[in-house]
Chains A and B, each alone.
Chain A
Amino acid sequence: MKVKGSVFKYGENIDTDVIIPARFLTTADPELLKIHCMEDLDGEFIKKVRPGDIIVAGKNFGCGSSREHAPVAIKASGISCVIAEDFARIFYRNSINMGLPILECKEAYEGIDNGDEVEVDFEEGLIIDKTKDLVFKAKPFPPFIRNIIDAGGLVEYTKGNR
C-alpha cells in the first residue's frame, strides 16, 4: 500500500493531550473527535488537512495518556501516516490496533520540512520526499501488522479471521 500527501511537521514529545484534549473525551465518535485534533498545538491543522496528508514529528510522539481516541482522531482527520523519530509505547500499540499506519525514521524527521509532498510505500518502508527528491528508509512492518492496518484495525482484522 502507498499513500501520498502534504506534510504537517511538529516537534518532539507531541503528547496525547494536544492530539486530542481530555475535555473532548466524552465521546469516542471519530467524526466528533477529529474536529478538535491537534487543536491546542495547531489551530490551523483541522482546517488545512486533506485526505492523505502525513504528520512528521520528533521523538516520543504520542506520549501521555492511554486514550485510543488520539490515533482515532488523527486517522479520522484524513492523515494517512505518522512518521516520527520514535513513538510512546501505548500510542504505538493503539495506532496499530486502530489501523493508523506509523513509521519510525529519524532521518525523515530531520530531512522533511513542513508542506513537503511525501509518498510512503509501506511494503518497502520507503519514505519519498517528492519536493526535495530525497528517499528515506524506515523498517517496514511485518506482514501480520500490515494486515491489521489494511483491515482497518485489530477488531476488523480479528473479525475477518474468524
Chain B
Amino acid sequence: MGMTMTQKILAYHAGLDNVSEGDLIEAGLDMVLGNDVTAPPAIDILNNMGGRVFDKDKVILVPDHFTPNKDIRSAELSKCMRCFAADNDIKHYYELGDEGHGIEHVIIPDNGLVFPGDAIIGADSHTCTYGAVGAFATGVGSTDLACAMASGKTWFKVPEAVKVVLKGKKNEYVTGKDIILHLIGLIGVDGALYRSIEFTGDGVHDLSMDDRLTICNMAIEAGGKNGIFPVDEVTLAYMDNVNPARFTSGGYKAFVPDDDAVYSSTVEIDLSEVPLTVALPHLPSNTKRAEDIRDMKIDQVVIGSCTNGRISDIRMAASILKDRKVAHSVRCIIIPGSRKVYRTALEEGLISIFEKAGCVISTPTCGPCLGAHMGVLAGGERCVSTTNRNFVGRMGAKDSEVILSGVPVAASSAILGRVGTPKEVL
C-alpha cells in the first residue's frame, strides 16, 4: 500500500522504509519551537529534569504572543525565555528589534528555517503553517516541547490524510484565506481530526507561497494534524530566495505521495468558484459568502497575525485603503507580521497610506488575535479580523464577536463600517 506525502516524511525521519496509518513511530526533528506562552513551562520542565537542549541550533524561541510585554507577569515569561536562550546559546532566539524578529509563523519560513521534507514540532497549534513548503509540521504542548528540546525526537501516530484537489484559478481578491475558510466550511472544524490535509491538483500552481502559508496555517482549524503542499516551482523559487545557501547545497528532500496512496476522503475545490468568504461567530466553519452579509455593523478591524501578516497581505490592504478613509465608527489596526514586513511596508510607502486612511499601525505581535492586548474587544463589540479563530471570548469579552475574513474583505469592511467587499468600495 502506498504512502501519503506526510507518511513518507514521517517514515524518512523515523528511519523506516514504510509506515502505515495508526503506526506509532519515533521521529527525529529538524526544528523545535516555542513562544512566550508555551516555552516557559517547557523550560521549567527541562530544568526540573536536569536536561540540556539537544542542539542549540535547532531550537527556535520567539517572544510574540504578549510582546512587547503587556504586564509584569508576561514580562516575567519573556525574561524566562530570554535567560534560557542566553544560558543555552540558542541560535534562533529572536529578541524584539532583532533582524528577523516577528510573529513566529511569519518569520520562521521567511528566515529560511524550514525546508521541504523537514519535520518540525512547535508548542503552538499554528505550527502546521510550514506544510506550505512541503515540510511536516505540527503543534504540541509544552511537555512534548520540553522532551523534544532535550532529545531532538518525539513520537507520532502516523495519520491518514484528507486529499484536497484544487482546480482552476481563483477570482480577483480571492486569497488563500478564502480557500481555507471555504474548505473548513465544507468539512467542519473536525473534518480532518487526527488527519493530514494534503493539497494537490493543477490549481496549486496558481497559489503563491503566501497563499499556501495561510492555507496550511488554518489546517488545525479543521482539526488537522498538519496541512501540506507539494513541492513545485513556486516552492523552489521561495526556498532559493529565503535561504540560498541551503537551497543550492541541496540539503533538503522533496517528497511525492505514492500513486496508490490511500486517503480517508477526497474533496475537490474549483478555485474559480470559491467566493470571498467570511466565518461568522463562533466557529471557523460557520462560513458565508461575504457578499451575502448585509448591514452587519462593526467596531474594529484587525489586519495581521500568523495567518495574514505577510507582505502580500499588507500590500493588499494598502491597495484598498489608499486614498480612502476608515469609517469613523471603526478602529482599524494594522499589524505587519515581522520587522522585515514592517520595514518593507515603510519603504514602499504603505505605512503612510494606512496612517492617512486613519488606521493605527502596531509593531509585530499576536496581540489581539488571542485577546491578549493591542485591540481587545469590549462586551457587545464586533470585529472583522484576518486572524484564525472566532471562538467565544477569543478577542476579548465573552459577548464580543469575531468575523474571520481575508484581507480584501477586512480592508473594505474598515472603510464601510460594516462587513463588505472590495467591489463596494473600489
Contacts and interface: CB of A to CB of B under 8 A. Distances in A.
Residue from B44, B225, B283, B394 having most chain A Cβ neighbours under 10 A: B394
Interface string A21-43: 11101111000000000011100
Interface string B200-244: 000000000000000000001001010000000000000000000
B140 A22 contact: no
A63 B220 CA distance: 8
B190 A90 contact: no
A28 B141 contact: no
B225 A89 contact: yes
A151 interface: no
A94 B38 CA distance: 12
B248 interface: no
28 contacts: A15-B391, A17-B370, A21-B393, A22-B65, A22-B371, A23-B371, A25-B37, A26-B71, A26-B77, A59-B190, A63-B223, A64-B220, A65-B125, A66-B38, A66-B140, A67-B141, A68-B123, A68-B143, A69-B41, A86-B193, A89-B194, A89-B223, A90-B125, A93-B144, A94-B141, A94-B143, A155-B146, A158-B49
A6 interface: no
A153 B143 contact: yes
A28 to B, nearest CB: 4
Given A23-B376, A28-B41, 16 more contacts: A13-B283, A17-B370, A18-B391, A41-B392, A60-B193, A64-B391, A65-B370, A66-B124, A66-B125, A86-B193, A90-B139, A93-B141, A93-B144, A154-B143, A155-B45, A155-B143
B40 interface: yes
Contacts of B139: 66, 90
By secondary structure, the B interface counts as: loop
- Size bracket, chain B contacts: 35 or more
B74 interface: yes
A54 to B, nearest CB: 22
A142 to B, nearest CB: 10
B44 to A, nearest CB: 7
Top 5 closest A-B pairs, CB basis? A26-B73, A68-B141, A94-B141, A22-B370, A40-B393
A89 B193 contact: yes
Given A65-B125, A155-B49, A60 B143 contact: no
Which among A17, A23, A66 has the greatest number of chain B C-beta atoms within 10 A? A66
Q: Which residue among B74, B122, B125 has the maximum number of chain A CB atoms within 10 Å of its CB?
A: B125
A159 interface: yes
B398 interface: yes
A88 interface: yes
B197 to A, nearest CB: 13
A82 interface: no
Nearest to B125: A66
A98 interface: yes
Contacts of B124: 65-66
B392 A40 contact: yes
Interface in A72-131: 86, 88-90, 93-94, 97-98
A39 B127 CA distance: 27
Contacts of B49: 155, 158-159
B96 interface: no
A17 B391 contact: yes
B308 interface: no
B254 interface: no
A143 to B, nearest CB: 15
Interface string A4-20: 00000000010101100
A28 B142 CA distance: 11
Nearest to A71: B141
B199 interface: no
Given A59-B190, A94-B141, A154-B147, A17 B393 contact: yes
B92 interface: no
A41 B282 CA distance: 12
Interface in B25-72: 37-38, 40-41, 44-45, 48-49, 65-66, 71
A158 B424 CA distance: 60
B3 interface: no
Interface in B323-381: 370-372, 376
A63 B393 CA distance: 14
Nearest to A86: B193
Contact of A18 (B41, B125, B392): B392
Contacts of A158: 49, 147
Interface string B119-146: 0001111010000000000011111101
B305 to A, nearest CB: 13
Contacts of B392: 15, 17-18, 40-41
A98 to B, nearest CB: 7
**Max chain B CB contacts within 10 Å: which of A68, A93, A97, A154?**
A68
Given A13-B283, A26-B66, A159-B49, A93 B140 contact: yes
A17 B223 contact: no
B174 interface: no
B407 interface: no
